[in-house]
Structure 1
Amino acid sequence: MMNRQHCADQEFARTILYQFLAMTFYEPADNFLVELEQEDSKKDLLEASRLLLEVKGVELMQEILHTLDGVNNAGKLGHQDLKAEYTRLFLGPMSPACPPYESYFDTNRPQEFQGTLMGPSSEAMEIALAEEGLELTLDYAELSDHVAIELEFMYYLLSRAYAEEKDSDVYLKKANAFFMEHLFPWLPKFGAKLSKESRHPFYKGIGLLLESTVKIDLGSVVNQKH
């Protein structure tokens, strides 16, 4: 049985890491993740990595933050390089190297629809967002089963689950169910593909971090069922 401190540590780590991962998959602006230049933000990410992912996770997070510092210190040129890689990986102009949608990776669809977009997961995400009274507020059109939206929704559910409110148990069940139904079936594969396809060290590191976080978090979900 987990003690109270272990549970608190796990809650902190899961929430921080899903929030960070969600932020990294939105289109990078010129001030991309500049808030992480604050030492407290970096400390929180490193501590969350240590608690959930242990030593290798800390080393990986350190590399990611170091790369991000390099991007921000390079100014406009650094951000242009990151934007170009984001476009190549996730947008196109032809076929993106790593489509960031659950539908694309959904192997439960009929054969003729595999590797295409706007599948059942898109509709399921639209329903899940509507049930929580949430809506997309991006400045550009995006499908609801985009990786950033799914990760941010997981962060939202965890935030509600760990807020110590009367419905916190309900939200923990929702978060874990969402993890099993929507995140675990495809994000490890997506993360592995991203780390392989990326030519930029930032997205290569994010792919590895995503794959590790989701695989290890499976243990958190399973333990909380017992």
Structure 2
Amino acid sequence: MAYLRLQWLGYPVELASTEFTRLFIGPPNPAAAPWESFYRSKSENPIGFGQATFEMRDLLRAAGLQVSNENNQYEDHIGLELLYLSELCRRRAEEATGCLVDDEVCADEAVQAFIESHPLGWVEALRSAVQESHPQGNIDRILGVAEASLTSLSADLR
């Protein structure tokens, strides 16, 4: 049976999968924890569930959203924070066309405050952990694009 090796820009998919697993799953623990609470913790042994998790739960609830996934990720996971931001941006676009009225969670100030206090406030620390474990990998590059996008959007909203 022939084995098809998929590649994206010369980077085999199996290497990307290995990179993701080593960084965010383990063994034995993630090399770069993808949860905001981990980086905001004042503890010597930070954990992935803390104040930022509760803050994100409240933000999601206020926006009428909830996390329902099979892998039970904490609400302050970088992917969930970016998905929440994308929903706010979608709502802002609808509001601009008159489809949505009186939604305070997607007002310029609220979106800018969220960006500054959540993903932009810790993506640099996450990226440093990724670079330490897997320098020049794809996830480092993806986080670089995310960080630049967050910085630009935040500046545009000021």
On the 8 A contact 2:37/2:50 being kept in 1, the answer is: yes
* 2:142 paired residue among 206, 216, 220: 206
Q: Which residue of 2 aligns with 1:161?
A: 92
Residues 91-117 of structure 1: CA deviation (Å, up to 9, x unaligned): 1121311111100111xx4x3366222
Q: Which residue of 2 aligns with 1:190?
A: 126
With over 3 angstroms needed to count, the CA separation of the structure-2 counterparts of 1:183 and 1:204, relative to structure 1, is: closer
Q: Secondary structure at the match of 1:184?
A: helix
Q: Secondary structure at the match of 1:112?
A: coil
Q: Secondary structure at the match of 2:8?
A: helix
| Residue ranges of structure 1 left out of the alignment (5+ in a row) | 1-66, 72-77
With over 3 angstroms needed to count, the CA separation of the structure-2 counterparts of 1:170 and 1:131, relative to structure 1, is: closer
On the 8 A contact 1:157/1:174 being kept in 2, the answer is: no
Q: Which residue of 1 aligns with 2:8?
A: 68
Q: Which residue of 2 aligns with 1:7?
A: none
Q: Which residue of 1 aligns with 2:71?
A: 140
CA distance in 1, matches of 2:156, 2:118: 16
Q: How many residue pairs end up in the alignment?
A: 147
CA distance in 2, matches of 1:195, 1:216: 22
Q: What is the TM-score when the length of structure 2 is the normalising length?
A: 0.78
* Pairwise CA distance, 1:130: 1.8
Q: In structure 2, what residue type is equivalent to 1:100? A: P
| Residue ranges of structure 2 left out of the alignment (5+ in a row) | 1-6
With over 3 angstroms needed to count, the CA separation of the structure-2 counterparts of 1:214 and 1:194, relative to structure 1, is: farther
Q: Secondary structure at the match of 2:121?
A: coil
CA distance in 1, matches of 2:45, 2:149: 25
Pair 1:150 & 2:81 matched: yes
Residues 12-68 of structure 1: CA deviation (Å, up to 9, x unaligned): xxxxxxxxxxxxxxxxxxxxxxxxxxxxxxxxxxxxxxxxxxxxxxxxxxxxxxx73
Q: What is the TM-score when the length of structure 1 is the normalising length?
A: 0.57
